[in-house]
Homo-oligomer: A and B are copies of this chain.
Amino acid sequence: MSMSKQMHLGAFMRPVSLHTGAWRYPGSAPDANFSFSHLKRFAQTLEAAKFDAFFMADHLAVLNMPVEALKRSHTVTSFEPFTLLSALAAVTERIGLVATASTTFDAPYHIARRFASLDHISDGRAGWNIVTTSNPDAALNFGLDEHVEHGERYCRAREFFDVVTGLWDSFADDAFLRDQESGLFFDPERMHVLDHHGPSLNVRGPLNIARPPQGWPVIVQAGQSEPGRQLAAETAEVIFAAPRDLAGGQELFADIKGRQDALGRSRDHLKILPAAFIVLGDTIAEAKAKRALLDGLVHFESGIASLSIALGLDASGFDLDAPLPRDLPDTNASKTGRQQVLKLAETEGLTVRQLAQRYGGYSGLAFVGTPESVADEMETWIDAEGSDGFNVVFPYLPQGLDDVAHRLVPELQRRGRFRTAYDGTTLRDHLGLPRPDNRFFPTR
């Protein structure tokens, strides 16, 4: 029997779930946003299930939703990723810890230091999700009048990556001699002063921290645009993608791995993990009913606001308990966005109200079914080169997470698709990624 391709699993965490109705779901903990004990339990459960990583998104402003939606969402406030993941590092031993940090609104010296420090504290479990920041309101919190232009953001991001990795390489792995006898603590010949001068950044260095245990923390990317994909192909080791279906996953997979071929990078050195919303039940019907219950908890006011934005017109005047009218007027809204809405409404036969609640809740790729049916779908993705695994979005917590850990993971393990024990200790070990050489002090 040939070994089937293994998958990697990340947990795309929000204390109360990403779904905006989740805080009203039976058994949920609506106050989990600032409850460290909840997050500790979640991380330990995921570690017991042998997840590759615990991932925290990050936003540098209150989410840019209309106030009618905002006031009904638990996603408005939560922990900051470095403080949270560092605390979790102290109460876990193996699971990877991936924090999001912005190259647009932070300084490379700070970012390099914090990830290096998290990597030391966790003994090699840190990862950096590089974002250029999607929420334009963030600019207003950092002294600007409007968001930095998209191309400029990605230019800075590319240079930022070079500076941060250069700072991580400030000291050779063997720079610290700590020779008590002679009194030599480190060898200054094994310290590199970066002295970077570029179009967006000027940074002298060296970093005041030893090289991270992983050499570099794992580089993660979530951009979707052309420059986002190119940045990922050049620098990323994991991509958190958001394709809506298998065809979309395959397109992204082929595109990124093709770009890697062109760059001479090994395909194995980048893992593509789409976000997947997973709802489990004893039967497919039960799982669908759970999802319908959850979607129904999205307050109508916030759902209709989201749907109106996606369609580019006020949807609140339509007959709410009928399907979307057939001939909608042309608008300025993104054509792709609108087509996705129409396709979804048709495929699932949703009324306007249901569609609004789906949009206000979570509308990305979803696997809804039994542990067996969902495992089937996941295997299909892996074998059809749709992805290297998934970044799991839990519909509600703790139950949705426990279901994945205790029901889906064992099914994947039985099928030989997911590890039953961690082989190594670092996030690079879990993902099968090499430790980068120090560019200033190569091993050969």
Contacts and interface: CB of A to CB of B under 8 A. Distances in A.
Interface of A: 23-24, 30-31, 33-34, 36, 40, 59-63, 67, 70-74, 76-80, 82-84, 86-91, 105-107, 109-110, 113-114, 116-118, 120-121, 123, 137, 140-144, 171, 176, 178, 180, 183-188, 201-210, 297, 299
Given A24-B183, A180-B23, A183-B24, A86 B77 contact: no
Q: Most chain-B CB neighbours within 10 Å: which of A144, A203, A208?
A: A208
Contact of A31 (B106, B113, B178): B178
A143 B183 contact: no
Given A74-B185, A90-B90, A178-B30, A80 B113 contact: yes
30 contacts: A24-B180, A24-B183, A30-B180, A31-B178, A34-B120, A34-B210, A36-B90, A60-B208, A62-B206, A62-B208, A71-B185, A71-B186, A71-B188, A73-B185, A74-B185, A76-B185, A76-B186, A78-B208, A80-B113, A80-B114, A82-B86, A84-B117, A84-B121, A87-B87, A88-B90, A106-B110, A107-B142, A109-B141, A140-B204, A143-B202
A77 B142 contact: no
Contacts of A299: 183
Nearest to A204: B140
A86 B90 CA distance: 9
A87 B91 CA distance: 8
A120 B82 contact: no
Contacts of A120: 34, 36, 79
Given A77-B208, A79-B121, A183-B297, 17 more contacts: A23-B178, A30-B180, A31-B178, A34-B120, A76-B185, A76-B208, A77-B171, A80-B116, A84-B117, A86-B87, A87-B90, A88-B90, A90-B90, A107-B142, A107-B143, A141-B203, A144-B202
Nearest to A113: B80
Contact of A70 (B60, B80, B143, B188): B188
A299 to B, nearest CB: 4
Nearest to A182: B299
A297 B89 CA distance: 35
A137 B180 CA distance: 28
A120 to B, nearest CB: 5
B36 A121 contact: yes
A23 B184 CA distance: 10
A189 B21 CA distance: 22
Contacts of A86: 82-84, 86-87
A83 B116 CA distance: 10
A78 B207 CA distance: 10
Contacts of A106: 107, 110
Nearest to A34: B120
Given A36-B90, A107-B142, A110-B106, A83 B82 contact: yes
Nearest to A99: B83
Contacts of A83: 82-83, 86, 114, 117-118, 121
Contacts of A204: 61, 137, 140-141
Per CB-CB distance, the 8 closest pairs between chain A and chain B, nearest first, are A86-B86, A80-B117, A140-B204, A183-B299, A90-B90, A83-B117, A87-B90, A83-B86
Nearest to A181: B24
A162 to B, nearest CB: 15
Q: Most chain-B CB neighbours within 10 Å: which of A59, A109, A188?
A: A109
Contacts of A59: 208
B71 A184 contact: yes
Contacts of A74: 178, 185
Contacts of A30: 178, 180, 185
Contacts of A210: 33-34, 77
Nearest to A197: B143
Nearest to A209: B77
Contacts of A183: 24, 72, 297, 299
Contacts of A24: 180, 183
A168 B184 CA distance: 45
Contacts of A61: 204, 208
